[in-house]
């Protein structure tokens, strides 16, 4: 009898042992509820299965384990399943071993983040070579700026569509489709002969940034909810590093091709074949080595049970009604958005302003993007630590401090006239702004439970939007010197970061105000249950939200412990989903 209970994820240590009838009854009830709750993130059109920080838990009180079922029901009763990592009842890994390539979990993790990394390389591959490209194609500053805007705009839409694609085809094909269908766009750079062609190709290449979604989707079906925050944070941060590595890789490749005898205006075109090859190779690796789900591939598994998905219109409605969605959209636009803008402009900036060699400028630009390796997880971690002491208020202040200091150092970077100071300010700026990205996703999971996937996706799209906007205003015309553009962008970022003060939770308060004194409204349950209509509540569809509400009482900070309310673990353990 203990084995049976354990395999369902229940611990006997606390309250009751279920009798046979109870077990049958509850597992049927569970079946329906599970199907509902995991579908709110996964249903076609909600776009963001896989961007969630946590999967939901069972409706009745269970101490400890968080076994979230995935949207694709799998066989739990396979006795011969042998995995290299410890797994839960869904065969999702409960441990994260970054140095392992074991099938299927760690392999999926590595294939996922490397695919995302490769797409970042392709999207920003042109940036360090702009000094050569602008001479070849006779580009003006506005041409270069517009192409930069185009390179990040495509992903706004492709990211929103990607969740649906992954639902239909599975993470493997979602990733492979994106990689292998956008590889031709990378190769087509050899046909470009003017500003219009350059802009179109950069726009088309930019679509592949949606691999972020497929990567996070894949890790979410492979890893247990307890560690998904850390796993997604690493995948997101290490993928973002691609924007830095490309600044180093492309000038090096260009230089080698020139040494081999090609003239510069041909060499840069040949250099683009490298990201193209990487994409094709990764696509093939994903298809041959990867696996959609812990138990096998989507097409060879039988789907069991009815999977009724949450209505997209409802999920959309509650996301749109929640004002915090818009605040986060803008905030992320001035953290991730600024980061992507810098990926596009910083190499050219150092090349022109300090008269450096192409590969030296590339090296400096690369260190901006590579700081992501630790800076992003650091931000998420700082958010979690501050929440331990000060609850949600701590998270908000952490975000504000990180993003504002990022803005300050951005202003300093624009003002710097000597190279050492410029590099110093750039490094501090990179840590500030990238940690802010991590901190934002420390808050996103709490904004909504029902519409979490969509809000995460919208926040991510906000990053691309912010990048397009800042490039359009500050770096597309001769109105501002690039240095002034940087400083003004920093100031604009600091102004928008003030919006953090407007994020208010009735149950936890905000930066300056405490939680509401209203007895009913100050409960977490009230906030999360408000996303369900009475009819839905009667059907019990909101059970997952209630469980979540119970779990996030720790967002009250130290008071939660002294309140004597349930000392449950906070929903994130480490860093939540990163975009």
Partner 1 sequence: MAIKKLLFASLLICSMIQSSHGATKERLFTDLEKGSLEITATPSRTGEGVVLAAGIDKLSITWKVSSTATKEPEFKTIKVKLCYAPVSQVDRPWRKTHNELFKDKSCPHKISSFSYDPTVKTAQSFDYTLERDIPTGTYYVRAYAVDAIDHEVAFGQSTNEAKTTNLFSVQAISGRHKSLDIASVCFSVFSVVALVVFFVNEKRKAKIEQSK
> At CA 79, angle to CA 77 and CA 85, rounded to 5?
100
For the chain, the 3-state helix, strand and coil shares in percent, each to the nearest 5, are 70, 0, 30
Least distance from partner 1 to the Cβ atom of residue 135, Å: 4
Nearer to partner 1, 138 or 518 (CB): 138
193 scored as a contact of partner 1 (CB under 8 A): yes
Which part of the chain contacts partner 1 (CB under 8 A), choosing from 6-14, 182-190, 335-343, 388-396? 182-190
Question: Is residue 492 within 8 Å of residue 334, measured between CB atoms?
Answer: yes
Q: How many residues bind partner 1 (CB under 8 A)?
A: 57
134 scored as a contact of partner 1 (CB under 8 A): yes
* Residue 462: how many other CB atoms lie within 10 Å: 26
Binds partner 1 (CB under 8 A): choice among 277, 312, 316, 317: 277
Nearer to partner 1, 51 or 365 (CB): 365
Binds partner 1 (CB under 8 A): choice among 280, 473, 488, 501: 280
- Taking the C-alpha atoms of residue 131 and residue 433, their distance in angstroms, rounded to an integer, is 26
Binds partner 1 (CB under 8 A): choice among 140, 308, 566, 569: 140
Instruction: Count how many Cα atoms sit within 13 Å of the Cα of residue 262 in the half-sphere of its side chain.
Output: 14
Least distance from partner 1 to the Cβ atom of residue 322, Å: 36
Question: Is residue 220 within 8 Å of residue 232, measured between CB atoms?
Answer: yes
Question: Is residue 85 within 8 Å of residue 100, measured between CB atoms?
Answer: yes
Which part of the chain contacts partner 1 (CB under 8 A), choosing from 11-19, 44-52, 313-321, 350-358? 350-358
Nearer to partner 1, 262 or 330 (CB): 262
371 scored as a contact of partner 1 (CB under 8 A): yes
Least distance from partner 1 to the Cβ atom of residue 157, Å: 21
Is the peptide bond between 495 and the residue preceding it cis, with omega within 30 degrees of 0?
A: no
Show the tokens assigned to 517.
């004194």
Binds partner 1 (CB under 8 A): choice among 31, 45, 64, 264: 264
Nearer to partner 1, 385 or 427 (CB): 427
30 scored as a contact of partner 1 (CB under 8 A): no
Interaction with partner 1 in 402-441: which residues (CB under 8 A)? 418-420, 423-424, 427, 431
Least distance from partner 1 to the Cβ atom of residue 141, Å: 5
218 scored as a contact of partner 1 (CB under 8 A): no
Binds partner 1 (CB under 8 A): choice among 7, 308, 355, 533: 355
- Taking the C-alpha atoms of residue 187 and residue 253, their distance in angstroms, rounded to an integer, is 15
* Residue 311: how many other CB atoms lie within 10 Å: 15
Show the tokens assigned to 368.
């901006």
Show the tokens assigned to 202.
């950069």
305 scored as a contact of partner 1 (CB under 8 A): no
Binds partner 1 (CB under 8 A): choice among 32, 94, 190, 200: 190
Helix (H) or strand (E) holding 545: helix 543-551
- Taking the C-alpha atoms of residue 203 and residue 193, their distance in angstroms, rounded to an integer, is 16
Helix (H) or strand (E) holding 424: helix 419-447
Helix (H) or strand (E) holding 417: none
Q: What is the DSSP letter of 477?
A: S
111 scored as a contact of partner 1 (CB under 8 A): no
276 scored as a contact of partner 1 (CB under 8 A): yes
Residue 509's DSSP bridge partners are: 505
299 scored as a contact of partner 1 (CB under 8 A): yes
The contact pattern for partner 1, residues 307-336, with x = CB under 8 A and - = no contact, is ------------------------------
Binds partner 1 (CB under 8 A): choice among 23, 103, 141, 523: 141
Contacts of 199 (CB under 8 A, 6+ apart): 143, 146, 147, 150
Q: How far apart are the first and last CA of the chain?
A: 42
187 scored as a contact of partner 1 (CB under 8 A): yes
Residue tagged 């492709």 (tokens): 158
Nearer to partner 1, 190 or 200 (CB): 190
* Residue 421: how many other CB atoms lie within 10 Å: 13
List residues binding partner 1 (CB under 8 A).
Answer: 131, 134-136, 138, 140-142, 173, 176-177, 180-181, 183-184, 187-188, 190-191, 193, 263-266, 268-270, 273, 276-277, 279-280, 283-284, 287, 297, 299-300, 348, 352, 355-356, 360, 364, 367, 371, 374, 418-420, 423-424, 427, 431, 478, 481-482
């Amino acid at each position: 009898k203990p084995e049976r209970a354990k395999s369902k994820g229940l611990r006997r240590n606390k309250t009751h042992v279920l009798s046979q009838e109870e077990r049958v009854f509850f597992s049927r009830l569970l079946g329906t509820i599970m199907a509902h709750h995991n579908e709110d993130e996964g249903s076609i059109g909600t776009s963001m299965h896989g961007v969630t920080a946590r999967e939901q838990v069972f409706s009745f009180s269970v101490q400890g384990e968080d076994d979230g079922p995935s949207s694709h029901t799998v066989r739990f009763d396979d006795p011969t399943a042998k995995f290299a990592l410890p797994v839960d009842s869904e065969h999702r890994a409960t441990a994260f071993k970054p140095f392992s390539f074991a099938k299927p979990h760690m392999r999926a993790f590595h294939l996922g983040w490397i695919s995302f990394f490769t797409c970042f390389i392709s999207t920003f591959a042109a940036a360090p070579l702009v000094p050569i490209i602008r001479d070849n194609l006779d580009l003006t500053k506005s041409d270069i700026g517009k192409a930069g805007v185009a390179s990040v705009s495509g992903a706004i839409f492709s990211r929103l569509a990607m969740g649906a694609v992954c639902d239909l085809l599975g993470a493997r094909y979602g990733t492979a489709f994106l990689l292998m269908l956008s590889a031709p766009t990378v190769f087509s750079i050899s046909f470009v002969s003017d500003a219009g062609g350059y802009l179109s190709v950069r726009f088309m290449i930019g679509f592949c940034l949606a691999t972020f979604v497929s990567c996070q989707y894949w890790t979410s079906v492979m890893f247990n909810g307890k560690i998904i925050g850390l796993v997604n944070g690493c995948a997101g941060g290490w993928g973002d590093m691609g924007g830095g590595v490309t600044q180093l890789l492309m000038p090096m490749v260009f230089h080698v091709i020139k040494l081999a005898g090609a003239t510069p205006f041909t060499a840069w075109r040949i250099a683009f074949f490298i990201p193209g090859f990487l994409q094709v190779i990764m696509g093939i690796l994903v298809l041959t080595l990867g696996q959609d789900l812990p138990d096998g591939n989507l097409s060879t598994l039988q789907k069991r049970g009815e999977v009724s998905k949450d209505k997209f219109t409802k999920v959309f409605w509650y996301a749109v009604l929640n004002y915090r969605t818009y605040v986060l959209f803008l905030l992320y636009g001035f953290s991730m958005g600024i980061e992507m803008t810098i990926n596009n402009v910083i190499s050219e900036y150092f090349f022109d302003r300090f008269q450096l060699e192409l590969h030296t400028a590339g090296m400096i630009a690369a260190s901006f993007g590579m700081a992501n390796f630790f800076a992003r997880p650091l931000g998420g971690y700082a958010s979690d630590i501050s929440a331990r002491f000060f609850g949600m208020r701590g998270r908000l202040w952490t975000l504000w401090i990180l993003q504002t200091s990022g803005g300050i150092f951005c202003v300093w970077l624009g003002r710097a006239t000597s190279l050492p100071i410029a590099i110093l300010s750039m490094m501090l700026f990179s840590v500030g702004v990238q940690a802010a990205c991590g901190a934002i996703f420390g808050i996103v999971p709490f904004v909504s439970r029902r519409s979490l996937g969509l809000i995460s996706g919208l926040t991510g799209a906000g990053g691309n939007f912010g990048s397009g906007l800042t490039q359009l205003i500050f770096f597309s015309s001769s109105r501002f010197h690039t240095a002034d553009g940087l400083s003004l962008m920093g100031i604009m970022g600091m102004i928008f970061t003030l919006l953090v003060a407007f994020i208010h939770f009735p149950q936890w308060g905000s930066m300056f105000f405490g939680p509401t004194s209203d007895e009913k409204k100050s409960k977490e349950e009230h906030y999360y249950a408000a996303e369900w209509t009475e009819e839905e509540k009667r059907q019990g569809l909101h059970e997952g939200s209630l469980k979540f509400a119970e779990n996030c009482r720790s967002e009250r900070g130290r008071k939660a412990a002294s309140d004597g309310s349930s000392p449950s673990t906070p929903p994130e353990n480490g860093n939540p989903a990163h975009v």
